[in-house]
Amino acid sequence: MKGLMLGFGLSILLAGSVLAKTFRFTAVPDESTARLMERFGKVASYLSSQLGVDVEYVPVKSYSASVAAFKNNEVQLAWFGGLSGVLARRAVEGSRAIAQGKEDLAFITYFIANTRTGIEAGDGFPTAIAGRTFTFGSKGSTSGRLMPEFFIRQQFKKAPRSVFRRVGFSGDHSKTLALVQSGAYEVGALNYKVWENELAAGTVDESKVLVIWKTPTYPDYNWSIRGDVDRTYGEGFARKVQQALLSLDDEDLLNSFPRSSFIEATNDIYKPIRDTAIDVGIIQN
């Protein structure tokens, strides 16, 4: 009987230690570090209150670093772009997309140009960008690299380096805007949500930079969770995380993304991203 009680006590202790594990998440660095820390610090506090465990936001310096952190179990949850989510889930068996912004089902990239180029806004693809200097965002960005490159290749039937006089990668959308606005690059491509954020923050000088084209829509950002979290944090934990994200209704926090709400997501939604990445050679099938 004493042995049974000791065994029972040990099982409770072990269960408690599982639940006491800190749950960590990261996010692709698509904006300035200060804005990311403010937003995801609040997300960490919210998730901790909902999940009953300590939750920590782990900042990373690049899109590839966010994928590596997820792969290496340094984080168990991540706010990914479409492409980085596909790459991360391919690396960790059983991982899945569990939530996305309501707006992420139909995401858009903005092509922007310095006003000194004389390129004007239009509904059709801006062929006048050929021969200019062009900056993407991060090499691993869906809205800042993958989809813009897809549309460029579709239009010109060749790779960007054969289309533009010079091609760069800024690292994030805010930097893309700054580089084009300053004239360091004549044209660039960025996430339309970041453009809207920067516009609202008063950092866009529309006498120097303008949106010249809005791409067709595609699926993008998502919350993805590792396939082994239930084993680590307890049965049903992944579902609990998903419900916490879907229930998030703090208007200020949602506006910081900016998203109106989070809705359920599945891996299948991002098949077009995977297929496009294969088409342009980023993923080997």
CATH number of 149's domain: 3.40.190.10
Tell me the C-alpha distance between 166 and 132, whole Å. Answer: 7
Q: What tokens does 181 get?
A: 């606005």
- What type of residue is 198? E
- 203 with 230, same domain? no
Tell whether 36 is covered by a domain.
yes
Taking only the tens place, the pLDDT of each residue in 133-165 is 999 999 889 999 999 999 999 999 999 999 999
pLDDT of 109 reads: 97
Q: Count the Cβ atoms, other than its own, within 10 Å of residue 72.
A: 10
- 151 with 13, same domain? no
- 97 with 224, same domain? yes
Phi and psi torsions of 113, nearest 5°: -140, 145
Tell whether 125 is covered by a domain.
yes
Domain end among 188, 214, 240: 214
- 89 with 157, same domain? no
Element (H, E) at 11: helix 2-20
What are the DSSP E strand ranges found in the chain? 23-27, 55-57, 77-80, 96-101, 109-114, 133-136, 166-169, 187-191, 209-214, 222-225, 262-264
pLDDT of 182 reads: 98
pLDDT < 70: residue spans in the chain: 1-20
- 231 with 93, same domain? yes
- 98 with 113, same domain? no
- 191 with 206, same domain? yes
Who contacts 208 (Cβ-Cβ below 8 Å, separation ≥6)? Answer: 114, 115, 116, 181, 182, 183
How far are the Cα atoms of 73, 103, 126, 223, 241 from residue 229, in angstroms, in the given order? 10, 27, 46, 14, 10
- 261 with 223, same domain? yes
- What type of residue is 229? V
- Helix/strand/coil for 277: helix
pLDDT of 260 reads: 95
CB 190 within 8 A of CB 220: no
Phi and psi torsions of 9, nearest 5°: -65, -40
- 203 with 242, same domain? no
CB environment 159-196: b (16+ within 10 A), e (fewer)? ebeebbeebbbbbbbbbbbbbbbeeebbbbbbbbbbbe
- What type of residue is 90? R
Structural domain that includes position 114 = 108-214
pLDDT of 33 reads: 86
Domain end among 161, 187, 214: 214
Tell me the C-alpha distance between 138 and 190, whole Å. Answer: 10
Tell whether 135 is covered by a domain.
yes
Count of domains observed in the chain: 2
Q: What tokens does 66 get?
A: 């966010």
Record the pTM. 0.78
**What spatial distance separates the first Cα and last Cα of the chain, rounded to whole Å?**
58
pLDDT of 8 reads: 38
Residue 20 exposure: Cα atoms within 13 Å on the Cβ side: 6
CB 85 within 8 A of CB 167: no
CB 149 within 8 A of CB 157: no
Parallel, antiparallel, or unpaired: how do β-strands 187-191 and 133-136 relate?
A: parallel
